[in-house]
Amino acid sequence: MQLPKSRRRQKLREKKCQYPGCGKIFFGIHISKYCPEHRQDRYRIRKRTKPEDVNIKNQTYKHNYTEVVTMVLSCALEACDNQFEVKVYPRQYIYPKYCPDHRNEYKRVRHLRQIGRDDLIEQMMKEGEMMEIELPGNEKENGDGEAEPMEMIDVVA
Ligand SMILES: [Zn+2]
Ligand SMILES: [Zn+2]
């Protein structure tokens, strides 16, 4: 007859519950973070992921097109004259604001450094770059007050 294999036990040690405001001492293995009570599902702390500000890489483009229109936009980066085509979709108001070359932050920073505009780099980091443009000649006349909720469609950036 064989002896059952000895199960390796993890050493229990005194731990302090990490649940905000608890701090109860309990015995647990090294990876336990919470006391038995706060290990229950309803206490699980869900990390709130902050939705990235769409305006950092994209711009809000208010329009009333009812069909897909191709527009040529200019790169929003200082001293970049590149233009790029963007398909404007009905009820989609978030569009890239930089030319394909400058959709990544690293390249924008490099470009700004090249033209000696470190101040703009700083500003970019600080403000997260808010920018809104409106169609010329498109007066605000949506009488129903608030704008329709924006449809968030991922823009390839
Ligand atoms: Zn606790
Ligand atoms: Zn550009």
Dist. CA 126 → ligand 2 center (Å): 20
Dist. CA 25 → ligand 1 center (Å): 8
| Residue of 77, 85, 80 whose CA lies nearest to 57 | 77
Helix axes 105-114, 118-127, angle to 10 degrees: 150
Dist. CA 110 → ligand 2 center (Å): 11
Q: Which residues keep their CB under 5 angstroms from ion ligand 1?
A: 17, 19, 22, 24, 35, 38
Dist. CA 117 → ligand 1 center (Å): 51
Distances (CA, A) of 133 to 26, 52, 53, 97, 136: 57, 20, 16, 10, 9
Flag whether the pTM goes above 0.85: no
What pLDDT does 2 receive? 57
Residue 102: exposure state from Cβ atoms within 10 A (0-12, 13-18, ≥19): buried
What pLDDT does 58 receive? 84
**Tens-place pLDDT, residues 26-64:** 998 888 889 999 988 888 766 555 555 667 778 888 889
What pLDDT does 73 receive? 93
Give the mean model confidence (pLDDT) for residues 87-100. 91
